[in-house]
Amino acid sequence: MATKIFVNLPVKDLQKSIDFFTALGYSFNPQFTDENATCMIIEEGSIYAMLLTHTHFKTFIDKDIADATSVTQVINALEMPSKEAVDEIVQKALEAGGTRYRDLTDMGWMYQDSFADLDGHKWEVFWMDPNGFPQE
């Protein structure tokens, strides 16, 4: 079974994307960072996002790059340790230039909010109480 995930995302301006995600509290692995790409550390040892310039991203694909501001192909969902952490990261994203694409949902046992980054990639952040999951 896989032990790590590297999500690859095309970005129009690498430095602006680095600045955006730095404002959210993320760091980057300098070993995998150059003018073409950076490795954003989401969860050390297991979850990473490779932010690749469009030119570099195209070297890995044989189709056009989707414009995430007009179509959605994927939603990146991240579990957070608390409701407060959900609110905090969404607020930071909005302050850094991201946009909200969906309203906050609070189901009691699950609390989720969302933002789109500078390139339109969608991010769902949520907190879930596994003991509060509705039983049928």
Q: Note whether residue 5 is domain-resident.
A: yes
Check whether residue 4 and residue 52 sit in a common domain.
yes
For 51, the domain range is 1-60
Same-domain check for residues 55 and 5: yes
Composition of the chain by helix, strand, coil, percent to 5: 25, 35, 40
Q: How far is it, in rounded angstroms, from Cα 79 to Cα 71?
A: 24
At residue 132 the predicted structure's pLDDT band, cuts being 50, 70 and 90, is: confident
Over 80: is that where the pLDDT of 135 sits?
no
pLDDT at 136: 64
- For the segment 35-94, what is each residue's pLDDT rounded down to a tens digit? 999 999 999 999 999 999 999 999 999 999 999 999 998 999 999 999 999 999 999 999
pLDDT digits (tens, 9 = 90+) for 59-71: 999 999 999 999 9
The C-alpha atoms of residue 30 and residue 79 are separated, in whole angstroms, by: 25
* Domains identified in the chain, total number: 2
If asked whether residues 82 and 111 sit together in one domain, one would say yes
96 secondary structure, DSSP code? T
DSSP string of 12-76, one letter each residue: S-HHHHHHHHHHTT-EEEGGG-SSSEEEEEEETTTEEEEEEEHHHHGGG-SSPPP-TTT--S-EE
| pLDDT (tens digit per residue) in 102-124 | 999 999 999 999 999 999 999 99
Cα-only R_g, the chain: 16
| pTM to 2 decimal places | 0.91
The amino acid that residue 20 corresponds to is F
CATH number of the domain where residue 18 is located: 3.10.180.10
Do 50 and 80 belong together in one domain? no
